[in-house]
């Protein structure tokens, strides 16, 4: 048997402040709330065809994996979100208005090939990569 991976289904981020993280991913990066189960400490955000699950540290779903969300970003390496269109200057201006301090856009290899991307950090120190379409 060979497993064929089509795309990222979801990423789980442990969070100390679900409200701040939800605002960041929705208001700054354009995700949409999909489901919320407060009793489980879970907020699921739609990111295109994928989901970003925010799990409250110490909540019923928190398995205690990784470091606590203390701003060091140790609970995940980075999350890469494919965005289109990719207008580096417009993205940087938008992110700067929200205090996100993005890095420079450079060419990086991703699931669809070489194309532009830039990095930034969410409110709890997790690195987020915004990836544009591959160069033709």
The residues pairing with 46 across neighbouring beta strands, listed in sequence order, are 32, 51
Look at residue 56 and tell me if it is in a domain.
yes
Contact 113, 64 (CB under 8 A): no
Q: How many domains does the chain divide into?
A: 1
Look at residue 96 and tell me if it is in a domain.
yes
For each of the chain's 136 residues, which pLDDT tens digit applies? 676 777 888 998 988 899 999 999 999 999 999 999 999 999 999 999 899 999 998 889 887 665 565 666 556 778 899 988 899 999 999 999 999 989 999 999 888 889 999 999 989 888 899 999 998 7
Look at residue 1 and tell me if it is in a domain.
no
Per-residue pLDDT, 63: 74
pTM here is 0.75
Look at residue 5 and tell me if it is in a domain.
no
CATH number at residue 17: 3.10.180.10
Per-residue pLDDT, 71: 61
Determine the number of helices (DSSP H) and then strands (DSSP E) in the chain: 2, 8
In Å, how far are 25, 74, 126 from 135, measured between CA atoms?
26, 32, 27
Look at residue 17 and tell me if it is in a domain.
yes
Q: Is the dihedral of CA 13, 65, 8, 51 positive or negative?
A: negative
Per-residue pLDDT, 41: 94
Per-residue pLDDT, 109: 83
Q: In what order do the strands lie in the sheet with 106-110?
A: 78-82, 127-131, 113-121, 106-110
Look at residue 2 and tell me if it is in a domain.
no
Run of H or E including 117: strand 113-121
Look at residue 108 and tell me if it is in a domain.
yes
Q: Which two tokens stand for residue 15?
A: 């969070």
Look at residue 18 and tell me if it is in a domain.
yes
89: containing domain: 10-131
């Amino acid at each position: 048997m060979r497993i064929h991976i089509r795309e990222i289904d979801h990423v789980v981020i442990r969070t100390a402040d679900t409200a701040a993280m939800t605002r960041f991913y929705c208001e700054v990066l354009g995700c949409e709330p999909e489901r919320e189960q407060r009793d489980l400490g879970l907020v699921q955000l739609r990111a295109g065809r994928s989901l970003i699950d925010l799990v409250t540290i110490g909540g019923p779903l928190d398995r205690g994996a990784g470091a606590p969300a203390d701003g060091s970003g140790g609970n995940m390496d980075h999350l890469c979100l494919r965005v289109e269109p990719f207008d580096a200057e417009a993205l940087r201006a938008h992110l700067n208005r929200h205090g996100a301090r993005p890095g420079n856009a450079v060419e990086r290899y991703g699931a669809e090939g070489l194309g532009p991307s830039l990095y930034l950090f969410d409110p709890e120190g997790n690195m987020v990569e915004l990836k544009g379409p591959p160069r033709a």
